[in-house]
Structure 1
Amino acid sequence: MTKTLSTLALLIATTLTGCAAHHDAAPVPAAQKTAPAAAQTGIIKRELADGLYEMALNPKGDALYVASAEGFKDVQGGVIYKLDPATLKSRGRSHTDLKNFALAISPDGQTLYVTNSLDGGISAISTADGKVKKRLMFTERNKEGYPFGAREILLHDGLLYVGGVGEPGVIWVVNADTLTLKKTIKNAGQWVTGLLWSEQTGRLYAANGGGEILVINPRNNRIEKRWKPLGNKPALLLNMAEDKATGRLFVTDNSKAKTTLVLDINTGALIRSLPVGDSLAVKFNAARHELYITQRESGKLLSLDATTLAVKRSWDLPPHPNSLLLSADGQTLYVTVKQPFNKDHSTNGPDSVVRIALQ
């Protein structure tokens, strides 16, 4: 790269859905047996490229897009990979001048929205030709002079919500059609990490590195509530998922609390803290009534019964399973699996994409 990574930029670069610290692996309950991905039925694993992060499925279900920042040592720009969602074979790729991290896709499937985290911006990319149609660079800078990292991105009702990694962090509200900034929600706590739109409450939820969940009214873009489910205990809350039928909010932490929290989405009350160890990405599957959690340090993907929250099944996906994506019918799960970083920000091999048939 042409410039030195700042502390906040490195946090984003190494762990878009994780935490920079490394810990001893937490074991899966003994009753759950696992096997390498190659030996597990219903799994396709493909080594693809360096720097894989989030994924998006075309609404028609005929294309899987994977964001890649590529390498972080002497590599400029990134790539958006287009894969066959059934076989993971390549169907195209778009080389970009900036590095790519989080992804969202328009309802018509014609536009990909990607965060360019290290440069503090977002890009709108045409799925027809892979060209950047529009770009928005944010102006906030940290004390070192580096841009706030544009981390997570969420598309809802024509608006893009983008979490800004800063101290304090911000949430940018952007018109998805014009890629113009409509509002900056300030004082969002230390590092805005995860974003979730609740279908039950009609509110935006944001997680941050200070152990808070922010509840935001989308009509006026104001923070209505600040929950701290673990009180004064250290927590770096990351990713969220919702079970709208029961009003439960699932929140992961793989760094400090090393758990998955189950909260009442209306009150923020802590229902349970799951003893599953380091928890990274999380997805709720209403079709199968299951909850999926990646464990970055343990190298595992867990499937939990959504009623009892007991582990039903686990998959070995070493070294570091990262982001999750669920198909619209709830029958296919996609996972990015990352390689560890060396001290010089290089890796020992390409990251992978895994397709798991859940039937």
Structure 2
Amino acid sequence: MTMKTPALVLLATLVLAGCSAQYTTSAQPAAETPKTAAVSLSAKVQKRDLASGLYEMALSPQGDALYVSSAEGFKDVQGGVVYKLDPATLKTLGSTHTDLKNFGMTISPDGKTVYVTHSLDGGISAIDTRNGKVRARTLFPERNEKGLPYGAREILLHNGALYVGAVADPALVWVVDARTLQVKARIKNAGKWVTGLHWSEQTQRLYVANGDGEMLVVNPRNNRIEQRWKPLGDKPALLLNIAEDSETGRLFVTDNSKAKTTLVLDIHSGKVLKQLDLGGSLAVKFNPKRHEIYLTQREAGKVLSLDATSLAVKQRWDLPPNPNSLLLSADGQTLFVTVKQAFNKDHTTNGLDSVVRIALNQ
């Protein structure tokens, strides 16, 4: 698949996006080769060069499998792969080859199903983790003025429903039955480009970030937008990803495009409590076990660890060229990172994207 349209370039620029289609599957372990073997950068950092087009990750509830979505190459390459890795060694345990490209990802509470978004084709798929087979797929019917599908970017699972953000103008959030993949509702009037999604157990609300610099607060009982916050006012902003410290009622929201900042917001009012001038940040995770915040800084090639109270930088990991997505283990002691290669003008890269495992307790 080549990326020739402005819409496809946009989705790649936003770092997460996807494709969808029918799938051929392979649950057979892939052979390890020297160039893709995990290497130790330090006593607590392992890195494995895995494949082109790596994006999001999901960890099985049992902690015994790390799933990584891949769009593979963007020039003359059709389809993608979902990799199953050993979380301790990063060795390949299995793989599912799909005829569409995979971007966003989440996993069911029982670990039996991995859900992926196919942004370039505007759809989602459900993959059975027991055999690696695709068991269901939905392609959303919406099209933009050029006849292209709305990009299905981020995906969030809550209480049997999948919330899928659309990169479109105007945008929406699809609400999908996680069992059947049938669309149950659409949350419309969501601004330009729905990017980040976050569910808060504290407020029982869905938080939606968009390219208009807005945070939307959605009531899942009726799928209505109850509040619209614009934390930076008229200043241009493209808000991306969201994390929460539920004990203090703070939301952490990144902007890697326009405002180049990380916002700390009051979860109830949207008031800006602090603006972290660390440069543009992409992914964000809050770790309640260690009381830390993690950020990827794509252009700087770094991952930061912040003290969640003082918001001071505790540690920096150099992971060039472009650290992308983050995933935290259930016990809060391991951080996983996808690291991307820069795109050439023809949408190729000069090497494989990587998965990094950081042991936080060493």
TM-score range, shorter-chain basis?
over 0.9
1:90 to 89, 92, 102: 92
Q: CA deviation at 1:296?
A: 0.3
Task: Give the equivalent residue in structure 1 for 2:7.
Answer: 8
Question: For residues 76 and 39 of structure 1, what CA distance do their matches in structure 2 show?
Answer: 33
Normalised to the residue count of structure 1, the TM-score between the two structures is 0.93
Question: For residues 262 and 243 of structure 1, what CA distance do their matches in structure 2 show?
Answer: 10
- Counterpart of 1:9, as a letter, is L
Question: Which 5+ residue runs of structure 2 have no aligned equivalent?
Answer: 18-38
- Counterpart of 2:237, as a letter, is A
Question: For residues 171 and 220 of structure 2, what CA distance do their matches in structure 1 show?
Answer: 18
Please say if residues 17 and 238 of structure 1, whose CA atoms lie closer than 8 Å, have aligned partners that are also in contact: no
Secondary structure, in 3 states, of the residue corresponding to 2:147?
coil
- Counterpart of 1:57, as a letter, is L
Question: What are the superposed Cα offsets for residues 289-332 of structure 1, whole Å, 9 maximum, x if unpaired?
Answer: 00000000000000000000000000000000000000000000
Task: Give the equivalent residue in structure 2 for 1:284.
Answer: 286
Please say if residues 284 and 291 of structure 1, whose CA atoms lie closer than 8 Å, have aligned partners that are also in contact: yes
Q: What pairs up with 1:16-165 in 2 under 5 angstroms?
A: 16-17=15-16, 39-165=41-167
Secondary structure, in 3 states, of the residue corresponding to 2:259?
coil
Please say if residues 264 and 270 of structure 1, whose CA atoms lie closer than 8 Å, have aligned partners that are also in contact: yes
Moved over 6 A (4+): none
Secondary structure, in 3 states, of the residue corresponding to 2:9?
helix
RMSD: 1.2
1:202 aligns with 2:204: yes
1:306 to 269, 286, 308: 308
Secondary structure, in 3 states, of the residue corresponding to 1:260?
strand
Question: What are the superposed Cα offsets for residues 163-211 of structure 1, whole Å, 9 maximum, x if unpaired?
Answer: 0000011100000011100001111011000000011100000000110
Question: For residues 60 and 16 of structure 1, what CA distance do their matches in structure 2 show?
Answer: 28
Question: For residues 65 and 226 of structure 2, what CA distance do their matches in structure 1 show?
Answer: 38
Question: For residues 100 and 54 of structure 1, what CA distance do their matches in structure 2 show?
Answer: 9
Task: Give the equivalent residue in structure 1 for 2:27.
Answer: none
Question: What are the superposed Cα offsets for residues 18-77 of structure 1, whole Å, 9 maximum, x if unpaired?
Answer: 9xxxxxxxxxxxxxxxxxx95433000000000000000010000000000000000000
What is the aligned residue count?
Answer: 340
- Counterpart of 2:272, as a letter, is L
Task: Give the equivalent residue in structure 2 for 1:28.
Answer: none
Question: What are the superposed Cα offsets for residues 134-158 of structure 1, whole Å, 9 maximum, x if unpaired?
Answer: 0010011111110000000000000
Task: Give the equivalent residue in structure 1 for 2:229.
Answer: 227
- Counterpart of 1:279, as a letter, is S
- Counterpart of 1:178, as a letter, is T
Question: For residues 5 and 180 of structure 1, what CA distance do their matches in structure 2 show?
Answer: 31
Question: For residues 94 and 138 of structure 2, what CA distance do their matches in structure 1 show?
Answer: 25
Normalised to the residue count of structure 2, the TM-score between the two structures is 0.92
Question: For residues 38 and 7 of structure 1, what CA distance do their matches in structure 2 show?
Answer: 39
Q: CA deviation at 1:9?
A: 2.5
